[in-house]
Amino acid sequence: MTVRIAVVYYSATGNVHRLAEAVAEGAAAAGADIRLRRVAELAPADAIDSNPAWREHVDATADVVAEAALDDLAWADAYAFGTPTRFGNVSAQLKQFLDQAGPLWMTGQLADKPATSFTSFTSAQNRHGGNESTILALNNTLYHWGAIIVPVGYTDPLLSAAGGNPYGTSFISGTHGDAPDEAILAAARYQGRRLATFAARLGHDGVQIAPTPSLTAEAGQPA
């Protein structure tokens, strides 16, 4: 059965969007069925309008990429999540979407599925703006879901050409609006292909590790 992968992301000016498309392309090339989804924008219109690139990207993708819904998570056998780096952390937009997934988490629909993460940030001169910590922060949510983290590691030579981040594809844009180059996009496609391959090895139903019956009720209680 074909593996189903949800590529869910937030992008302000388009760089994470480009990475997400590349991840989706790589997974599709490995035979996966893909849902490419953007999460809802939370920023006010005046903030978006203050950055022409931000406004342009919002308008360009509004009718092209469907907005993410919890059904996309329930549908998927594996996930790829993308976010800009926000002070070394996940963007508020993606985090809000993930925080709404509690009902799926409580019923075990997010567990035992492979997941991978990618990021991008803009900096004039700083090469250490928190891209690795952003992926680690995003993965914290996936740990709580019981997902199976699929990093890229150093499993292909092309990853070194893209900066060699073992946690996941990351792109650093300058202040002049640089877009991800082919080396970065190749790494993102590889990351998608790796996720799809790993998910296929697990099979459509994942690993399905049964919980201990006596602990199920306690673990499912909301805070």
pLDDT tens per residue across span 10-64? 999 899 999 999 999 999 999 999 999 999 999 999 999 999 999 999 999 999 9
Crossing angle of helices 15-29 and 182-202, in 10° steps, is 50
pLDDT (0 to 100) of residue 3? 95
The 3-class SS string of 77-91 reads CEEEEEEECECCECC
- List the one residue out of 188, 176, 54, 50 whose CA is nearest residue 119: 188
The 10s digit of each residue's pLDDT in 82-100 is: 999 998 899 999 999 999 9
All structural domains of the chain with their residue ranges: 4-219
The 10s digit of each residue's pLDDT in 108-123 is: 999 999 999 999 876 5
C-alpha span between 117 and 47 (Å, rounded)? 26
Rounded to the nearest integer, the mean pLDDT of the chain is 88
Structure tokens at 123: 């900096």
**How many angstroms from the chain centroid is the CA of residue 134?**
11
| CATH class of the domain defined by 4-219 | alpha beta
pLDDT of 196 above 70:
yes
